[in-house]
Structure 1
Amino acid sequence: MTRVLVVEDDPQLVRALVITMQARRYGVDAAPDGTTALRLAAARQPDVVILDLGLPDMDGVDVIKALRGWTRVPIMVLSARRASDEKVAALDAGADDYVTKPFSMDELMARLRAAVRRTEESPLTPGTTHVATAEFTIDLLARRVVRAGRDVRLTPTEWHLLEILVTHPGHLVTQQHLLREVWGVTRAGKTNYLRVYMAQLRRKLEADPSHPRYLVTEPGMGYRFEG
């Protein structure tokens, strides 16, 4: 059973989320604040975290940073904050998705299913289990990236994007294909998400992120991995 940790201080919303997810056979734990959330995350090891940013004891971005110190579990932000800089701050801290309130429950469940899919290992084509460049190496079976002798921490979304690109070396992967594969059809027009995540990957992997050698942009079309 997929287990979800809901971090939200609105009891009515928590009740609605719990009822909806339990009806779809998810296991659900709920935390009303950040401190409880971090304790439950360590104890229950959820498969996905749904997190409000406006918590009574600490900012949700700090919860994301604390979680990213030890886990790659998908984190979906659920917040009334709509400002672009708020979204970017949450994504940069390690969130994998950002849903603004009010929201459609059906859309939220679709994004939850997409988050779960991203954590599942997909079949790999023979010969593409290991990728080596002058800057970093990727072990697709172990889901591990090493740069300068050190492991590179990637969120599940960053990993999924990288995996798609490196298993199609030298080929253009369109924006629409990446959006469908990683975020589902509901995000078909959200190219800003791609830009944010590709920028994060370049900061972590490229020697000069502003002039990428490996994660190449095809303007207006998509991205290509050059090994």
Structure 2
Amino acid sequence: MEPARILIVDDEAPIVELICAYLRQDGFAVATASDGLGALEAVERFNPDLVVLDVLLPGLDGLEICRRLHQTRNIGILMVSARAEEVDRLMGLGAGADDYLTKPFSPRELVARVKAILRRLRPTPSGSDVLSFRHLALEIDVERREVRRAGRNVELTPLEFQLLRVLAASPGRVFTREQLLQRVWGDDFYGTDRVVDVHIGLLRRKLEVEPGLPQPIQTVRGVGYRFSA
């Protein structure tokens, strides 16, 4: 089986060398870039499965790179930064990152998070091939991992698709943030449950393809979220 390809984007050479050594030791194929434009070029050339992306970079910053990548690719992104405030973490997740790791960090922890993201990117089996909701003009093709709303294709990241699939498989059921973390992110997720709110927000915006359509995902205040029954 071909090893997963990891792109490291950071302008601190010692950190890059250390991360590369640990990832290669675990059998990953690794490439590097040291600035924003170089990162975009490396993505086209190397076609990585996951990008370890520093926030503060020469040229384009990590947040803008993250947004651009998610416009055209389904790719895992682990954002790293010296900024440890919650608002910085939420900005990174809001840009589309799968996880956020603050510096300084243990290389072993970074490798563990890379593996966890890659596991979440893998398709998971489902008992139903297509979930169709006429009252929402929404169709979810589980096998092909495609979503259509009002006849239009909706491009979702793998994590967003998993989140929508879990909710849509049980219309009307209220899921707490902890339950969604367990089902979508898994036991090996290290972050806060605020990541659920961030990705629900991203998912809702993508599903709003036409004014007047009802919102498929409803907030249950003080509890969590449910899919419209």
TM-score band w.r.t. shorter chain: 0.7 to 0.9
Q: In the alignment, which residue of structure 2 is the partner of 1:28?
A: 30
CA separation of 1:83/1:28 partners in 2, compared to 1, >3 Å: closer, same or farther? same
Give 3-state SS (helix, strand or coil) of 1:190's partner.
coil
Partner letter of residue 48 of structure 1?
A: L
Shift in Å, 1:202: 1.9
Q: In the alignment, which residue of structure 1 is the partner of 2:195?
A: 193
- Alignment check: 8 A CA contact 1:2 1:26 kept: yes
- Alignment check: 8 A CA contact 1:111 1:183 kept: no
Cα deviation code 1:82-133 (max 9, x no counterpart): 34443333323222221111223333222211211122111111x3533334
CA separation of 1:57/1:37 partners in 2, compared to 1, >3 Å: closer, same or farther? same
- Alignment check: 8 A CA contact 2:52 2:77 kept: yes
Q: In the alignment, which residue of structure 2 is the partner of 1:143?
A: 145
Shift in Å, 1:206: 5.1
Give 3-state SS (helix, strand or coil) of 2:159's partner.
helix
- Alignment check: 8 A CA contact 2:113 2:189 kept: no
Contiguous gaps of at least 5 residues in structure 1: none
CA distance in 2, matches of 1:118, 1:141: 16
How do 1:35-114 residues align onto structure 2 when only pairs under 5 Å count? 35-114=37-116
Give 3-state SS (helix, strand or coil) of 2:72's partner.
coil
- Alignment check: 8 A CA contact 1:49 1:76 kept: yes
Q: In the alignment, which residue of structure 2 is the partner of 1:132?
A: 133
Shift in Å, 1:169: 2.8
Q: In the alignment, which residue of structure 2 is the partner of 1:166?
A: 168
Shift in Å, 1:20: 0.8
CA separation of 1:74/1:2 partners in 2, compared to 1, >3 Å: closer, same or farther? same
RMSD: 2.4
Partner letter of residue 117 of structure 1?
A: R
Cα deviation code 1:160-185 (max 9, x no counterpart): 21122122333333322321333343
Q: In the alignment, which residue of structure 2 is the partner of 1:116?
A: 118
- Alignment check: 8 A CA contact 2:6 2:30 kept: yes
Structure 1 window deviating more from structure 2 (14-23 vs 82-91): it is 82-91
Give 3-state SS (helix, strand or coil) of 1:197's partner.
helix
TM-score, structure 2 length as denominator?
A: 0.86
CA distance in 1, matches of 2:39, 2:215: 40
Give 3-state SS (helix, strand or coil) of 1:72's partner.
coil
- Alignment check: 8 A CA contact 1:3 1:46 kept: yes
Q: In the alignment, which residue of structure 1 is the partner of 2:16?
A: 14
CA distance in 2, matches of 1:189, 1:36: 29
CA separation of 1:188/1:226 partners in 2, compared to 1, >3 Å: closer, same or farther? farther
Give 3-state SS (helix, strand or coil) of 2:44's partner.
helix
Which among 167, 185, 194 is matched to residue 183 of structure 1? 185
- Alignment check: 8 A CA contact 1:6 1:28 kept: yes
Partner letter of residue 69 of structure 2?
A: L
- Alignment check: 8 A CA contact 1:3 1:47 kept: yes
Which among 206, 211, 229 is matched to residue 204 of structure 1? 206
Give 3-state SS (helix, strand or coil) of 1:185's partner.
coil
- Alignment check: 8 A CA contact 2:140 2:147 kept: yes
- Alignment check: 8 A CA contact 1:6 1:51 kept: yes
- Alignment check: 8 A CA contact 1:206 1:214 kept: no
